[in-house]
């Protein structure tokens, strides 16, 4: 039971807005020690867990390419393109990307999108350019709001799309966990019953994006954030 202390550390730490990497590391140490492991074993577990997960960070390899293309005017080009589409709004653009991401993920094409490969170089600049064409250059809070919605559309689409494709890790993980608990379920059925969830997720998030358009139309800027303009 004491090992649940780590979850409390995560909650309190994140609510108190401490630096997340400090909070997560502290939670790992507390969980291990409270769970009766000795300190060196906990550090070994952290090291092994971190090392085994390096494949996640290989995505950063795209940054040199993105940086070079930005240097060559990639974002300027994305803005010029979106400027030609008069009926496009930030919300509609992101709804279209959400649908595209969800459908391609459902077909197993998860590697087609992503924060580093699509959102940063293409989707976010297009959304910002659209706002700029409509109401002038967005101030820092608006810019951050638009960028975070662009990132969220990618996440929601990928998350609620991949469960529909039977051969992806998520479905196999669900099956394995259920199997461990003596419930035998065919991957195809897991994938099938992911479809209602996916449709609801699309409806909910598309509504949020439509509301984003509404919010951007409001003359007053959204609640100020402390995020700097990078």
Partner 1 sequence: MITVDVAYAMAGVVFVAIAVFSALDRANPKRWHNTAFWGLFGASFLAGRWLGDLINGLLVIAMVLVGGIGGLGISRPATTTPAQREASAARFGSRLFLPVLLIPATALTGTLLLKGLKVGGVFLVQPTQVTVICTALGVLLALAWAIGMLKPPLAAVPQEARRLMDSVGWAAILPQLLAALGAVFALAGVGDAVARLIGQCCRWTAGWPWWPPTAWVWRCSP
Q: How far is Cα 123 from Cα 93, in angstroms, rounded to an integer?
A: 8
Contacts of 139 (CB under 8 A, 6+ apart): 221
Residues 115-144 that bind partner 1 (CB under 8 A): 117-118, 120-122
State which of residues 12, 22, 173, 211 lies at the interface with partner 1 (CB under 8 A). Answer: 22
State which of residues 15, 16, 17, 64 lies at the interface with partner 1 (CB under 8 A). Answer: 64
State which of residues 61, 84, 184, 223 lies at the interface with partner 1 (CB under 8 A). Answer: 61
With contacts defined by CB under 8 A, how many residues of the chain interact with partner 1? 74
By CB under 8 A, tell whether 32 contacts partner 1: yes
By CB under 8 A, tell whether 16 contacts partner 1: no
* φ, ψ of residue 218 in degrees (nearest 5): -60, 135
Torsion of CA 63, 65, 68, 74, to 10 degrees: -100
By CB under 8 A, tell whether 155 contacts partner 1: no
State which of residues 8, 12, 80, 137 lies at the interface with partner 1 (CB under 8 A). Answer: 80
H-helix segments, 107-218: 124-135, 140-162, 169-180, 187-217
Q: How far is Cα 132 from Cα 78, in angstroms, rounded to an integer?
A: 13
By CB under 8 A, tell whether 196 contacts partner 1: no
By CB under 8 A, tell whether 65 contacts partner 1: yes
* φ, ψ of residue 88 in degrees (nearest 5): -80, 135
State which of residues 63, 99, 152, 174 lies at the interface with partner 1 (CB under 8 A). Answer: 63
19 vs 226, beta carbon nearer partner 1: 19
């Amino acid at each position: 039971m004491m090992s649940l202390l780590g979850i409390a550390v995560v909650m309190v730490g994140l609510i108190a807005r401490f630096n997340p990497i400090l909070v997560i590391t502290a939670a790992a140490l507390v969980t291990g020690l409270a769970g009766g492991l000795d300190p060196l074993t906990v550090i070994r577990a952290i090291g092994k867990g971190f090392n085994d997960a390096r494949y996640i960070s290989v995505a950063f390899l795209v940054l040199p390419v993105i940086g070079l293309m930005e240097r060559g005017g990639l974002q300027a080009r994305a803005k010029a393109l979106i400027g030609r589409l008069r009926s496009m709004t930030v919300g509609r653009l992101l709804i279209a990307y959400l649908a595209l991401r969800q459908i391609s993920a459902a077909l197993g094409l998860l590697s087609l999108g992503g924060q580093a490969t699509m959102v940063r170089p293409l989707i976010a600049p297009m959304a910002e350019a659209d706002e700029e064409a409509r109401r002038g250059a967005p101030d820092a809070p608006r810019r951050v709001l638009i960028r975070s919605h662009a990132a969220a559309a990618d996440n929601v689409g990928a998350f609620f799309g991949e469960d529909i494709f039977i051969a992806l890790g998520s479905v196999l993980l669900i099956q394995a966990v259920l199997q461990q608990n003596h419930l035998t379920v065919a991957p195809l059925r897991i994938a099938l019953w992911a479809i209602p969830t996916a449709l609801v997720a699309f409806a909910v998030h598309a509504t949020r994006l439509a509301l984003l358009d509404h919010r951007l139309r409001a003359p007053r800027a959204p609640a100020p954030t402390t995020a700097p303009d990078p």
